[in-house]
């Protein structure tokens, strides 16, 4: 859909997220013809530099980020023309008046997006200044990134600060997992097909698994990550959002608040994990030295350069949604760094058939599974029982009906950030988190953090390149289940 020309201001315009994700995403959207020519992208950071310096720096980063994309590379020079730079300090007045006048001179009612790609500690200052200079009015929007707080109380402080400058309809809280192709396909799969929804409940679904496995370690984010850990970094946001997309009731319309109302109900129905069950329902792990994809990697503490961190780099947990649809259906979640492969998937495991007509010699009849793969190789697999082809009597076999999006459509899928940035420009908040969602998620997470803290246990060690501590396997095996392995 065409959009009106806009000004997009990236606070933290020289930072990692801007150079690795936001600007490459914008370049690809530009190459696709989605960014009107009169639009501008303005990087803001503290250092003084000229537009030309900034363009050169961004040009370098984008040539690397889009090395294999010929169309994007061809458009790079024209894209850089749209780029400007402003040196501003969120904590000082200097320069703000001029910055505001410059933006306003471009049209009071122009779409303006302020992307706060900075440390959350600057959100309050930035929002105060945007308000003081009248930049919160008209068609202004503000985008904030996680971490939105480190617990419920600190999230509320950030939300209050941003909320005092911008109305909720102007605030876009990004969870980039919601921008992934397969997540939106989950909406299509559930609500554009008659097949699944009648079975989408405790009568037919045995359990759900959500895995987000990464091969990377700390990268360059030691300071942030060590104060966060996997529960805050991944579960509070990405994994719970995926859980909501699976578990929510059908919204009445694909309209932002209708969808977010349903997700909120799921978050509020999550059964609280009590302190006394913490050891049964959750597993924390931290990687030790090992090998990932054949390369030796150091342990977490070595990477961190400290010996005393109890931060978890792996979490597995069993959640339950206490409502009619999901009563008694466990949702097993796991995520971790330095696991054997990078894979994110949602597995819906259906119940067994009620009665088998087959001889034992035909082999076991296994429950159907619907596997939604978010990355890599986005696609959907429906595991079904079929007759083993060929002579030799009736033997059963489980094989997947397999739809790989790349094979089926053969096109480059826009990255999550590309799609979400354009949604902000269009003013469509459906795939963004509302304040109450973020806070409901923290409300469920806080007691888990508190219970871990009061036990003061070290996380369980796991070797880099393994699937986490053995306790994570035990978590599902205790219930007579196993983690899904894609064998085909």
Binding site for ligand BG6 (CB under 6 A): 176, 214, 233, 344
Give least dist CB 219 to ligand BG6, A: 7
Closest-CA residue to 314 (of 233, 230, 238, 242): 230
Burial 429-468 (b: 16+ CB within 10 A, else e): bbbbbbbbbbbbbbbbbbebbebbeeeeeebbebbbbbbb
Q: What are the angstrom distances between the C-alpha of 13 and each of 87, 114, 246?
A: 10, 11, 35
Shorter beta-carbon distance to ligand BG6: residue 84 or 147: 147
Give least dist CB 159 to ligand BG6, A: 19
Give least dist CB 113 to ligand BG6, A: 20
Shorter beta-carbon distance to ligand BG6: residue 232 or 260: 232
> How do strand 295-297 and strand 290-292 relate by DSSP bridges?
antiparallel
Give least dist CB 233 to ligand BG6, A: 5
- Tell me the C-alpha distance between 224 and 232, whole Å: 11
Exactly one of 86, 176, 207, 238 is catalytic; which is it?
A: 238
- 3-class DSSP assignment, residue 332: strand
Tally Cβ neighbours within 10 Å of residue 194. Answer: 6
Shorter beta-carbon distance to ligand BG6: residue 282 or 344: 344
Give least dist CB 422 to ligand BG6, A: 17
- Tell me the C-alpha distance between 275 and 278, whole Å: 5
Shorter beta-carbon distance to ligand BG6: residue 75 or 337: 337
Shorter beta-carbon distance to ligand BG6: residue 139 or 413: 413
Q: Is 355 a catalytic residue?
A: no
CA atoms within 13 A on the CB side of 267: 27
Give least dist CB 361 to ligand BG6, A: 44
Shorter beta-carbon distance to ligand BG6: residue 21 or 112: 21
Residue nearest to ligand BG6 (CB): 233
- 3-class DSSP assignment, residue 432: coil
Torsion sign across C-alpha atoms 126, 131, 133, 138: positive
The residues, ordered by sequence, that sit 6+ positions from 474 with a Cβ below 8 Å of its Cβ are none
Question: H helices within 174-290, ranges in order?
Answer: 181-191, 222-228, 230, 240-247, 256-269, 278-281
Closest-CA residue to 415 (of 72, 109, 118, 101): 72
Torsion sign across C-alpha atoms 466, 470, 475, 480: positive
Write down how long the chain is: 488
Residue pair 372/339 in contact by the 8 Å Cβ criterion: no
Give least dist CB 25 to ligand BG6, A: 12
Shorter beta-carbon distance to ligand BG6: residue 214 or 418: 214
Query: What residues are labeled active site?
Result: 238
């Amino acid at each position: 859909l065409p959009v009106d020309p806009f000004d997009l201001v990236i606070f933290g315009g020289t930072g990692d997220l801007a150079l690795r994700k936001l600007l490459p995403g914008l370049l690809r959207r530009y190459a696709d013809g989605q960014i009107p020519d009169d639009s501008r992208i303005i990087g803001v950071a503290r250092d003084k530099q000229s537009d030309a310096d900034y363009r050169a720096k961004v040009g370098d980063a984008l040539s690397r980020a889009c090395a294999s994309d010929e169309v994007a590379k061809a458009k790079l020079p024209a894209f850089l023309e749209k780029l400007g730079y402003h040196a501003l300090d969120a904590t000082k007045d200097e320069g703000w008046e001029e910055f505001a006048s410059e933006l306003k001179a471009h049209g009071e009612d122009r779409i303006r997006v302020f992307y706060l790609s900075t440390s959350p500690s600057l959100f309050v200052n930035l929002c105060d200044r945007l308000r003081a200079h009248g930049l919160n009015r008209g068609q202004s929007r503000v985008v904030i990134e996680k971490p939105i707080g480190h617990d419920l109380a600190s999230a509320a402080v950030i939300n209050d600060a941003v909320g005092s400058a911008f109305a909720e309809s102007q605030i876009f809280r990004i969870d980039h997992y919601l921008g992934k192709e397969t997540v939106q396909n989950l909406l299509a799969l559930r609500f554009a097909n008659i097949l699944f929804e009648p079975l989408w409940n405790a009568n037919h679904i045995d359990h759900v698994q959500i895995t987000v496995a990464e091969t990377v370690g700390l990268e360059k984010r030691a300071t942030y990550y060590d104060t966060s850990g996997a529960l805050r970094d991944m579960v509070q946001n990405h994994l719970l959002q995926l859980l909501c997309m699976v578990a929510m009731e059908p919204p009445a319309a694909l309209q932002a608040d209708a969808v977010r109302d349903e997700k909120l109900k799921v978050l509020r129905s999550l059964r609280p994990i009590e302190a006394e069950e913490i050891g049964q329902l959750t597993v924390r792990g931290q990687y030790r030295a090992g090998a990932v994809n054949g390369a030796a990697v150091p342990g977490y503490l070595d990477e961190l350069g400290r010996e005393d961190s109890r931060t978890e780099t792996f979490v597995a947990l069993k959640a339950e949604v206490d409502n009619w649809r999901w009563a008694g259906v466990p949702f097993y979640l796991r995520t971790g760094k330095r696991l054997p492969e990078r894979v994110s998937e949602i597995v819906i495991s259906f119940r067994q058939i009620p009665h088998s007509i087959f001889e034992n010699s035909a082999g076991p009849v296994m429950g159907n599974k619907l596997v939604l793969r978010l990355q890599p190789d986005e696609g959907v697999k429906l595991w079904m029982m079929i007759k083993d082809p060929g002579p030799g009597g009736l033997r059963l076999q489980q094989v997947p009906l397999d739809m790989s999006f790349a094979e089926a459509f053969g096109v480059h899928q826009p990255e999550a950030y590309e799609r979400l940035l354009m949604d902000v420009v269009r003013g469509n908040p459906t795939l963004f988190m509302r304040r109450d969602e973020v806070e409901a998620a923290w409300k469920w997470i806080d007691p888990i953090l508190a219970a871990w803290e009061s036990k003061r246990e070290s996380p369980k060690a796991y070797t880099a390149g393994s699937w986490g501590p053995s306790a994570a396997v035990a978590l599902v095996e205790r219930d007579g289940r196993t983690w899904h392995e894609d064998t085909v």
